């Protein structure tokens, strides 16, 4: 479970939107928190309309003030300012994963101007694409901006592949720690949503394709029952459903209908930051909902069943 949370901050109030989630998770999980600031080479004088932290002493003073006002005295909080300015802030965060070995990176997405406009430029997508550590992405303005961060319901979509069960494991563990429930979800595409070879098969062999989709739906329902039983054995309240449609759209709609506080998704992030952000289901889900998204990396070995 998450016992060490790494939180990158740039000094802006926008980045601090992630702090309520950090406070909650540190308290519920008894986690250690590390606040980090990466000095950026050639940094502009302002970031997100606010003064940019460009000096080590100034940045350390800021992190100390954030720790004081965000976390209770009994929460272990460390702070780190990388002493040498770096060309890439994202690279600096990725590099510090090895140094600090966090269980979770918690950061805010930019939220203005579309998916690619992210905090610190494109830092979030690059950290996610590194595929090393689970990343919890928080949007600046959620669907319940007036309410404090909470974790009462987790939505855990799955495609039924064993490689992605790490996401389900983390969902069950977090739910147990937070006394939350888990909604398992599997999505089978409709004929209209098929792509590539499946779409071609649907056009030339519609009857066979419908039968294949029906078999997939039945198999996923069986798989979800097994996973639900596994979660219930851990003492977690679990529900499960299989729906038809576009995966990202169905996930976002289900998150709204279940009032999910966090959506947990496994992701490879293996094709590079641009490809990851442009084409994967997690990236599309982030574009359709303002709810926090916990992205759990899936290794190639796991994906291949090794």
Query: Which pLDDT score is estimated for 53?
Result: 79
Helix (H, G, I), strand (E, B) or coil at 121: strand
Where in the chain do CATH 3.40.50.620 domains reside?
A: 4-138
Please answer whether residues 120 and 8 qualify as being in contact, where contact means their C-beta atoms are separated by less than 8 angstroms.
yes
* pLDDT for res 190: 73
d(CA 166, CA 174): 12
What confidence tens digit (pLDDT) does each residue in 109-157 have? 754 433 334 433 356 666 766 667 888 988 876 555 456 899 999 999 9
pLDDT mean over 100-106:
91
Burial 19-56 (b: 16+ CB within 10 A, else e): bebbbbbbeebebbbbbbbbbbeeeeeebbeeebbbee
Band (pLDDT 50/70/90 cuts) for residue 269 is: low
Angle at 251 between CA 110 and CA 219, to 5 degrees: 145
The answer, yes or no, to whether residue 89 has pLDDT greater than 60, is yes
Looking at the chain, the whole-number percentage of residues with pLDDT higher than 90 is: 42
Q: In what helix (H) or strand (E) does residue 52 lie, and over which residues does it extend? A: none
**Cα–Cα dist 286/139, whole Å:** 9
Alpha helices, DSSP H only, in 149-296?
165-178, 196-204, 206-233, 247-258, 273-279, 281-286
Query: How many Å separate Cα 204 from the centre of its chain?
Result: 39
- For helices 196-204 and 206-233, the axis angle rounded to 10 degrees is 130
Comparison of pLDDT for 165 and 259, the residue scoring more: 259
What residues does CATH 3.40.50.12370 cover in the chain?
Answer: 153-303
First to last CA, the chain: 23
Check residue 132 and give its pLDDT.
Answer: 74
pLDDT digits (tens, 9 = 90+) for 225-257: 999 999 999 999 999 999 988 889 999 999 999
Residue 220 has pLDDT above 80, yes or no: yes
CATH of the domain spanning 153-303: 3.40.50.12370
165-218 pLDDT, tens digit per residue, is 888 999 999 999 999 999 999 998 775 555 545 543 544 445 566 777 788 889
What is the predicted pLDDT for the residue at 71? 96
The residues with which 100 forms a beta bridge, in sequence order, are none
For the stretch 14-62, pLDDT in tens is 888 899 999 999 999 999 999 998 887 666 666 666 667 778 898 999 9
Considering only the top CATH level, what class is 4-138? alpha beta
Sign of the C-alpha dihedral computed for residues 134, 67, 32 and 262 taken in this order: negative
pTM for this model (two decimals): 0.84
């Amino acid at each position: 479970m998450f016992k060490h949370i790494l939180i990158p901050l740039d000094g802006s109030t926008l980045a601090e939107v992630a702090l309520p989630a950090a406070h909650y998770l540190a308290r519920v999980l008894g986690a250690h928190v590390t606040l980090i600031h990466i000095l950026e080479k050639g940094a502009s004088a302002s970031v997100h309309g606010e003064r940019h932290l460009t000096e080590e002493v100034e940045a350390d003073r800021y992190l100390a003030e954030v720790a004081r006002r965000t976390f209770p005295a009994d929460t272990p909080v460390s702070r780190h300012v990388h002493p040498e300015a770096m060309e890439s802030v994202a690279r600096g965060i990725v590099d510090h994963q090895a140094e600090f070995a966090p269980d979770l990176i918690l950061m805010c997405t930019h939220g203005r101007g579309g998916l690619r406009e992210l905090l610190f430029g494109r830092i979030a997508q690059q950290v996610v694409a590194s595929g090393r550590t689970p990343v919890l992405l928080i949007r600046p303005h959620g669907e319940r901006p007036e309410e404090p961060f909470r974790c009462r319901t987790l939505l855990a979509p799955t495609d039924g592949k064993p490689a992605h069960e790490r996401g389900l494991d983390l969902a069950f563990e977090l739910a147990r720690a937070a006394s939350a429930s888990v909604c398992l979800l599997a999505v089978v595409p409709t004929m209209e949503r098929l792509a590539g070879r499946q779409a071609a098969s649907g056009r030339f062999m519609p009857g066979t394709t419908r039968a294949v989709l029906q078999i997939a739906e039945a198999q996923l329902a069986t798989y979800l029952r097994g996973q639900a039983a596994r979660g219930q054995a851990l003492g977690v309240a679990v529900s499960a459903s299989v729906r038809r449609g576009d995966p990202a759209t169905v996930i976002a709609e289900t998150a709204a209908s279940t009032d999910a506080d966090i959506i947990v998704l496994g992701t490879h992030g293996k094709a590079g930051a641009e490809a990851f952000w442009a084409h994967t289901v997690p990236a599309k889900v982030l574009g359709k909902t303002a709810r926090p998204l916990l992205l759990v990396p899936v290794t190639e070995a796991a994906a291949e069943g090794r």
